[in-house]
Amino acid sequence: MSEILIVDDERSMREFLQVLFSEEGMNVTAAANMSAAIEELQRSTPDLVITDLKMKGGSGIELLEHVRHNFPGVEVIVITAFASNETAIKALNQGAYDYVTKPFEVDELKVVVHRALERQRLLAENLRMRAELKGGYDFGEIVGKSARMQEVYRLIEQVAPTPSNVLVTGESGTGKDLVAKALHLRSPRCDGPFVPIDCASIPAQLMEGELFGHVKGAFTGATANRKGLFELAGAGTVFLDEIAEIPPSIQVKLLRVVQERSVRRLGEARDRSVDVRLVAATNRDIEQEVKTGAFREDLFFRLNVIRIDLPPLRDRREDIPALVRHFIDTYSTAHKTPIVMRDALEVLADYGFPGNVRELENMVERALALSGDGPIGSEMFSEYMRSGRAAPAPNGIELPPEGADLEMILASVERKLLKEALRRSGGIKKEAAGLLGISFRSIRYRLQKHGLD
């Protein structure tokens, strides 16, 4: 739950803002002046401070300076009654996230607050990743000593310090997002935000506004100016996951961003410069997507400056023991980590892992839940693997002499595989899509078609 501190010497304004953001699901405290605000900051550091500019006993600028000096991870929004007041501009120059002019529109203030909290979350996540890096994970959460992974590590080390765009390819569950994080943490941009964007989960009609932002009145419901994710990434890294899911109408606008390093908010005539490093990823055969015209060739060449191919887990089976130990350390809550029996590792080594490292992670977490305080043996995985092979192989279907309804048979097989993938992924659609080798958008459509959504 986000924590907000309201600072205003008008009691009615304090109470109004407390009620407003409490109803938004936030934990809100209030202070009537600067000294009371400093006490609240020392008692419990919030995620965001909303302060009036002019107050008795200390100005909003003085409070901003105090926050920036003592609590650099806290965002600050300034409220002012003077639209053209140079002091409000000074607040921005000194590190305020934004300022809002009285009288303000409630919806506008909500948008600014949610965006400030999103930026604060991104910066906090970046700090967490950096602390994790210093803690001994040489490549974040990437685990493996195989020759294929050593080549991946070498590429990360070589490419990370450069400004070049990177395209990460590999099957679902191979850890493309971890590679993107590792590239960010080893880059000169490591102090900036790392902004992951799941292109498959953003509806096509909302994608332009999400990526590039919009201005007030650009469409119905656009009640305030809004920064897009590229602007929020300021001086950081944008990770475009499942890049092949971006529709052609947005691809041409993304190409412009990549070429000119500028964005144009929806409904706005001017361009805004953005300083970001791009890392894109896909589990598809991107060259085939280009051949069929589904993905722009010029955009592909711009993104594919450096290519990092992640091997599937079945091609680096020697890494399975280290991955198992890593996931046990991650999920084990007992004082003693369970012993993994040799027969369990042998069973895992013979499995095909269609869901790759993510599937292994789920299997280890499940085995820990089933094992209690005892050792982890092969039986912890065998039942899962048998259920995973339950789907009929194509050569197990025969054409009857009288013929068959092909569409009905295919629909029946598809429905069965969808249900099995959902069961194995615990209902998580994105993971189920990865097990089936299809996109999030595709599985959502197929689930709706079969009444499984």
- 81-113 tens-digit pLDDT: 765 557 667 778 788 888 888 888 888 888 889
Per-residue pLDDT at 189: 93
201 with 440: CB under 8 angstroms?
Answer: yes
At the topology level of CATH, where does 314-388 sit?
A: Helicase, Ruva Protein; domain 3 (1.10.8)
What pLDDT was estimated at residue 195? 93
pLDDT of residue 130: 57
Question: Residue range 284-308: average pLDDT?
Answer: 95
Degrees, nearest 5: CA angle 423-424-427: 50
3-state secondary structure of 221: coil
Q: Is the confidence at residue 337, as pLDDT, over 70?
A: no
Beta strand pairing status for 98-101 and 277-282?
Answer: unpaired
Tokens describing residue 352: 């095909």
- List the CATH code of the domain at 3-123: 3.40.50.2300
pLDDT of residue 102: 81
CA dist 20 → 13, 118, 198, 220, 444 (Å) = 10, 18, 30, 23, 35
The label of the residue with tokens 């600072």 reads 7
Least Cα distance to 78 among 97, 94, 99 occurs for 99
Task: Return the pLDDT at 131.
Answer: 53
CATH architecture of the domain with residue range 146-309: 3-Layer(aba) Sandwich (3.40)
Lowest mean pLDDT among 34-43, 169-178, 282-291, 407-416: 407-416
Instruction: Determine the Cα–Cα distance for residues 177 and 49; give it in Å rounded to an integer.
Output: 32
How many Å apart are CA 15 and CA 31, to the nearest integer? 10
Question: Quick check: bond before 103 cis, omega within 30?
Answer: yes
Q: State which amino acid sits at residue 102.
A: K
Q: Which residues contact 382 (CB under 8 A, 6 or more apart)?
A: 347
Residues of the chain with CATH 3.40.50.2300: 3-123
**Residue 297 to residue 211: CA distance in whole angstroms:** 21
**Which residue, 38, 96, 30, is CA-closest to 66?**
38
Alpha helices in 204-355 (DSSP H): 204-212, 229-232, 248-260, 286-292, 297-303, 320-331, 342-349
Structure tokens at 303: 């993104």
**Distance (Å, rounded) from C-alpha 62 to C-alpha 167?**
45
Q: For 260, what's the count of Cα atoms within 13 Å in the CB-facing half-sphere? A: 12
pLDDT of residue 211: 94
Q: Residue 185's closest CA among 312, 69, 259, 279?
A: 279
C-alpha 43/C-alpha 35 separation (Å) is: 13
CA distance 341 to 376: 6
Asked whether the whole model's pTM tops 0.85, one would answer: no
Residue 335 pLDDT > 70? no
Q: Please list the residue range(s) of the chain that carry CATH number 1.10.8.60.
A: 314-388
Residue with tokens 């970001």: 276
End-to-end, the C-alpha distance of the chain in Å comes to 29
Distance CA 7, CA 14 (A): 7
d(CA 61, CA 39): 17
> How many angstroms separate the CA atoms of 183 and 194, rounded?
10
390 vs 284, residue with greater confidence = 284
| Comparison of pLDDT for 54 and 181, the residue scoring more | 181
Structurally, at CATH architecture level, domain 402-449 sits in Orthogonal Bundle (1.10)
> 3-class DSSP state for residue 46?
coil
pLDDT at residue 179 in the model: 95
> Which part of the chain is CATH 1.10.10.60?
402-449
Enumerate residues 6+ apart whose C-beta is below 8 A from 398. none
What pLDDT, on a 0 to 100 scale, did the predictor assign at position 350? 85
Integer Cα distance of 391 and 394 in angstroms: 9
The confidence band for 308, taking pLDDT boundaries of 50, 70 and 90, is very high
Minimum mean pLDDT among 7-11, 18-22, 71-75, 277-281: which range? Answer: 71-75
pLDDT at 188 over 50: yes
Please check whether residue 274 is in contact with residue 285, taking contact to mean a CB–CB distance below 8 angstroms. Answer: no
pLDDT band at 396 (very low <50, low <70, confident <90, very high): very low
What residues are paired with 167 via a beta bridge? 280, 307
With a cut of 80, say whether residue 138 has pLDDT above it.
no
Q: At what angle do helices 440-449 and 429-436 cross, to 10 degrees?
A: 100
Ranges for all domains in the chain classified under CATH 3.40.50.300: 146-309
